Amino acid sequence: MRKPSHTDSNSPSLGGGRGEAIIAIDLGGTFIKIGLLKNGELIDRKEIPAQAASGLKSQLPELEMVIDQILKSNQVQKETVRGIGFSFAGLVDPVANRILSTNQKYEDGPETDLVGWAHEKWNWPLFAMNDARMALLGEWQHGAGQGCSDLVMVTLGTGIGSAVLIGGQLLIGKHFQAGNLGGHFVVNHKGSVCTCGNIGCVEAEASTWRLPALLKEHPEFPGSSMKNEEFPDFKALFHHAGNNDQVAREVLDHCLSAWAAGIITMIHAFDPEIIILSGGIMKSSAIILPALQEKVNQLAWTPWGKVKLVEAKFPDSAALYGADYLVRSSIIK
């Protein structure tokens, strides 16, 4: 990984191997996870509801309170904490450790000085990164990506996130967005308008936010058993497709094709050894994994062999492990 350079407030008196604890924060759209790690092990974690619509700054006092509580209940002195790894669901500059751009969540993120916040409150350095990259780091170090030098991680959920490791280095790019926009690869140039403004992105064709409209657009929807679902999510879709509802089956096939097209494009672009799949939709991995693997085997141009699709080992905490690795690798030169 490219080593982040540090501002003065990020040049800690905490280096030199004295401290051993790390605080990890994973700021999602629905929940915020806060973890305490010691020597790479997650020894405590708390989850609080996110108030993404009210902004990031207004959430910081509650975060401070939870972090102080975790320190107290685990009898950890703040002087022994090496820093915070901060994971964010948006574009992040991992050199300046600033949020660059958000998508309808925490709109004040880009104007929030996270490094200054952590320095003033605890005198800790803070290292920020996009959440898909952070989860990739966690899976690479501790999970499904162990032993690999080249991998792609894809999260299938409300939206679709991605991150890329090539030759043991995170792909970052000139403007810090390389490898992050796999969910916005075009798989249907005559398709639907995406939240990003583009047309026919993978997530505009098949994601949790798009699913209700996908169903309603199906001409046979009025006769579908999906019509009575209060929450027409993927869990319901897999259930009704399993019961042979024709609309559910066709919409599911459409989604699997869109995800496969996105993944094959990522294989052609980034040449990984494996693809790690995570995210809420992967709760139905028993159906998704074999279906996608079959399409990848058939359609991807990889004369050296087949790219294996694997399930994340820590779907719920990979970003916390990744945050631990990020802080350690950033401080220890």
CB of 207 to Zn ion, least distance (A): 10
| Calpha distance 46→57 (Å, rounded) | 19
Asked if residue 308 lies in contact with residue 275, where contact means CB atoms within 8 angstroms, the answer is yes
Query: H helices then E strands: how many in the chain?
Result: 9, 12
CB of 201 to Zn ion, least distance (A): 3
Read off the tokens for 282: 């992967």
Nearer to Zn ion, 154 or 201 (CB): 201
Nearer to Zn ion, 201 or 281 (CB): 201
* Residues at the interface with Zn ion (CB under 5 A): 184, 194, 196, 198, 201
Nearer to Zn ion, 112 or 198 (CB): 198
Q: What is the largest CA-CA distance in the chain?
A: 67
Nearer to Zn ion, 53 or 193 (CB): 193
Q: Three-class SS of residue 265? A: helix
CB of 192 to Zn ion, least distance (A): 10
Mind giving me the DSSP string for 82-94? Answer: EEEEEEESSEEET
CB of 143 to Zn ion, least distance (A): 27
Nearer to Zn ion, 96 or 199 (CB): 199
CB of 325 to Zn ion, least distance (A): 29
| Calpha distance 99→320 (Å, rounded) | 18
Nearer to Zn ion, 129 or 201 (CB): 201
Tell how far CA 293 is from the center of its chain. Answer: 21
CB of 177 to Zn ion, least distance (A): 12
Residues 186-195: contacts with CB within 8 Å, 24+ apart? 187/258, 187/261, 187/262, 187/265, 188/258, 195/103, 195/104, 195/159
